[in-house]
Chain A
């Protein structure tokens, strides 16, 4: 259901202010969403003054700098730092993306960092993605065949090309958590990330379960809650197009 306001326990309060101690002249203010599960308090926004003269270019570098030099208590996910693992997905400057590939010079004014939108927060910038993973499992993201052949299952170059723009997805959840339909119906609507994956297996020429896959996804809530808002494509840090993938599933259903 559409719930515009945040619940009472989620209302964001003003937090602490960490004043610059380096005396640098190149200072930027960074506002970060904080929530500590060990206290019973509401989430808050802590503000950090960061010396930008000694800070590498990406938002993740900025977070690392804050964690290393100012406040070690801040929690966020990160791993590869090269836009491949999808761990450091978060909301920066009102838009989802990977902190490791987003340059902070692209952000004007104060830098606002929030967890991915409309998720249960586990701590600070870490959101709970278990629903999304369950939905991912529900599309059975593996090759399914019934016929038994002794030979290698060969795919033509043309058929392989159909997977381009789909297989690159790193499941960072930037798209799904940017989607208002997913915010309001996240328990039933599969969301752009999972639907893109569903399409990736539907379109694979080696898969022999296409009909069943299509039948399974053809659901008022699972699929047709997509209203082409396009936030997903706008958010994708890998430049993929989940909205187009969803439209392709709808088109396949309408023409089959």
Chain B
């Protein structure tokens, strides 16, 4: 009889909280950053293949899609770093109170956007 019993709705009906949102984003950005590292390696190796190969990357990164791509990656990276710091504190047993997790979660979200803006706008100084 148990075979025919329906499964009660779960992710379809459950509310999102700040902490669950940051948690799933932490996992997604983790996967994205894995590919980001590969991309940076290919970018760096393009130098070995001469100016032409490097120019292709430059052209891509200066296009609208390229800029969107880079901004997303900076966000993904900064988000992961900030969220990881939150996890370090958790690992030593700190910051588990409900209010604290909400505040630190919001800090991670807004902090990652702020850092993204700061890093992207400082690219002029770095002459990228």
Q: Which residues of A contact B (CB under 8 A)?
A: 4, 6-7, 9-10, 12, 33, 35, 37, 40, 42-43, 91, 93-95, 112, 114-122, 127-128, 178, 180, 183, 227-231, 233-234, 241, 243-244, 247-248, 250-251, 254
Q: Do residues B98 and A234 form an inter-chain contact, with CB atoms below 8 A? A: yes
B residues within 8 A CB of A231?
14, 17, 19-20
Could you tell me which residues of chain B, from 17 to 54, have a CB within 8 Å of some CB in chain A? 17, 19-20, 23-24, 27
Q: Do residues B7 and A121 form an inter-chain contact, with CB atoms below 8 A? A: yes
CA distance A33 to B8 in the complex (A): 9
Q: Do residues B93 and A248 form an inter-chain contact, with CB atoms below 8 A? A: yes
Q: Do residues B15 and A94 form an inter-chain contact, with CB atoms below 8 A? A: yes
**B67 interface residue (CB < 8 Å to A):** no
CA distance A127 to B2 in the complex (A): 11
B residues within 8 A CB of A247?
90-91, 93, 96
If A120-B2, A128-B2, A230-B17 touch, does A180 touch B7 (CB 8 Å cutoff)?
no
**B5 interface residue (CB < 8 Å to A):** yes
Q: Do residues A230 and B23 form an inter-chain contact, with CB atoms below 8 A? A: yes
Q: Do residues A95 and B15 form an inter-chain contact, with CB atoms below 8 A? A: yes
CA distance A6 to B5 in the complex (A): 12
**B92 interface residue (CB < 8 Å to A):** yes
Q: Do residues A117 and B98 form an inter-chain contact, with CB atoms below 8 A? A: no
Q: For the complex formed, measure the closest distance between the CB of A248 and the CB atoms of chain B, giving whole angstroms.
A: 6
Q: Which residues of B contact A (CB under 8 A)?
A: 1-2, 4-15, 17, 19-20, 23-24, 27, 87, 90-93, 96-98, 101
List 14 A-B residue pairs with CB atoms under 8 Å apart, sorted by A's residue number.
A6-B6, A37-B4, A42-B6, A91-B8, A112-B13, A115-B8, A117-B8, A117-B10, A120-B5, A121-B7, A230-B19, A231-B19, A234-B20, A251-B92
Q: For the complex formed, measure the closest distance between the CB of B17 and the CB atoms of chain A, giving whole angstroms.
A: 5
Q: Do residues A117 and B17 form an inter-chain contact, with CB atoms below 8 A? A: no
CA distance A43 to B92 in the complex (A): 45
A residues within 8 A CB of B92?
251
Q: For the complex formed, measure the closest distance between the CB of B41 and the CB atoms of chain A, giving whole angstroms.
A: 28
Q: Do residues B7 and A10 form an inter-chain contact, with CB atoms below 8 A? A: yes
Q: Do residues B14 and A251 form an inter-chain contact, with CB atoms below 8 A? A: no
Q: Do residues A234 and B19 form an inter-chain contact, with CB atoms below 8 A? A: yes
Q: Do residues B93 and A10 form an inter-chain contact, with CB atoms below 8 A? A: no
Q: Do residues B91 and A251 form an inter-chain contact, with CB atoms below 8 A? A: yes
A residues within 8 A CB of B8?
10, 33, 91, 114-121, 127
